[in-house]
Structure 1
Amino acid sequence: MLIFHIATATDWSAALASGAYTTSTRGRTLEQEGFIHAARAEQWRGVHARYYADADEPLVLLEIDTERLASRVVLEPAVPGGDETYPHVYGPIEPAAVLRAVPVDDALGATSFSALFLRELMRAAMLGLLVVVLAAVGALLVDEALGGWGVLVGAGLGAALAVALAAVAVRRW
């Protein structure tokens, strides 16, 4: 099952460094709350509107695969006796369980999470195309200069340049 959690970019960066995400909700830790608040795909926008709309720091939307979590996930009512349930994660979230961390502004701007996924897929395809094109150009240029192994060396150099450019582009996105 996929669940979602809104995190500050700072908390998510700290989790990547430490290997565990332990913020329950805005201003509360897992230790204080006893679990980490999460939402289903159709719920996270409402959570953002109610609790994070006035945030003055960058936020990211974490897409979490519950099958990858070591911690237990329980669907529980938001209020005692309520009908609507929310996923609660009873333990830390390992960064490996997070499939994507997307800036909330980007996620809110997407017409659907599928549209956001498609946009990211297109970015990845464009970066892949860049690698292929620069590898081909490198192979052609270096082959004429070196001959023999020049094609392989040129393709490697072109691909390495493309990967370096892609890394810079990904950091900016």
Structure 2
Amino acid sequence: MASPIFHVATAADWAEAKQTGRYATSTRGRTLAEEGFVHAARADQWQGVRKRYYADATEPLVLLVIDPGKLDAPVVEEAPPGGTETFPHVYGAIPAAAVTRAVPLGADGEPAAAGRSFMSLFLEEMSVRAGVGFVVIVVAVGLGLLVLSAFGDVAGLVTILVLLVLGAFVARGVFARRTARTSAGTERAQSTQ
């Protein structure tokens, strides 16, 4: 997939596009028919667009994340009259299927919190990983000490090393499954927006 492009839209315009299958609003207050193209932005530009043109918006806004590869209209990088910075312009309606995500924007213009904060998610994930690591170490050392007392130093140390390596592989597998399950859940949630 090519790098996504972004478009700030009213929630009402996006709801209509989901019904009709096509998004045809160029920018705030102007249609594709009036403007000739749909204004878009790159990842580093959309917040500036939101601040310049939507700062006083009272209606709910969404950030449309668009896959250019799913568009049936050309995307042309152009500078506005008198400007030097280029922006992607979509010369045609945007199929609703080309919008990979519609992210609600809060009153401050930032993506609205969808539940838990990033910090709480991060701390939870790190706690799980640290807990699994601690269990692996305790089991490896405990069994290694048992083998050490029964069979001697070398056997005990080898047992500890083998169990640590096996524990690392098991933990990696658990984290891979956990990540895949979390990603699948996130994709399902985003596809319903």
- Note whether the superposition's TM-score is higher than 0.5: yes
What amino acid does structure 1 have at the position aligned with 2:35? E
Q: Identity of aligned pairs, percent?
A: 56
The correspondence of residues 7-22 of structure 1 with structure 2, limited to 5 A, is 7-22=9-24
Structure 1 residue 83: Cα displacement: 2.0
Q: What do residues 8-54 of structure 1 show as CA deviations (whole Å, max 9, x unaligned)?
A: 00000100000110000000000000000000000000000000011
**Structure 1 residue 104, shift from structure 2 partner:** 1.7
- How far apart, CA to CA, are the structure 2 residues paired with 1:30 and 1:93? 10
Instruction: Extract unaligned runs of 5+ from structure 2.
Output: 122-178
Report how many residues are paired: 123
1:93 is the counterpart of 2:94: yes
CA contact (8 A) 2:10 2:59 kept: yes
- Runs of 5+ in structure 1 lacking a partner? 129-165
Match of 2:7 among 1, 5, 8: 5
SS of residue in 2 equivalent to 1:10: helix
TM-score by length of 1: 0.63
46, 49, 57: which one aligns with 1:47: 49
Matched, 1:36 2:38: yes
- What's the Cα RMSD here? 3.1
- The whole-number CA distance in structure 2 between the counterparts of 1:71 and 1:104 is 26
> Which has the greater radius of gyration?
2
Would you identify which runs of 4 or more consecutive aligned residues in structure 1 move more than 2 Å?
Answer: 124-128
Are the counterparts in 1 of residues 104 and 111 from structure 2 also a CA contact under 8 Å?
A: no
Alignment of 1:19-168 (within 5 A): 19-80=21-82, 82-105=83-106, 108-109=110-111, 125=182, 128=185
Residue 126 of structure 1 and its aligned partner are, at CA, apart by 9.1
TM-score by length of 2: 0.56
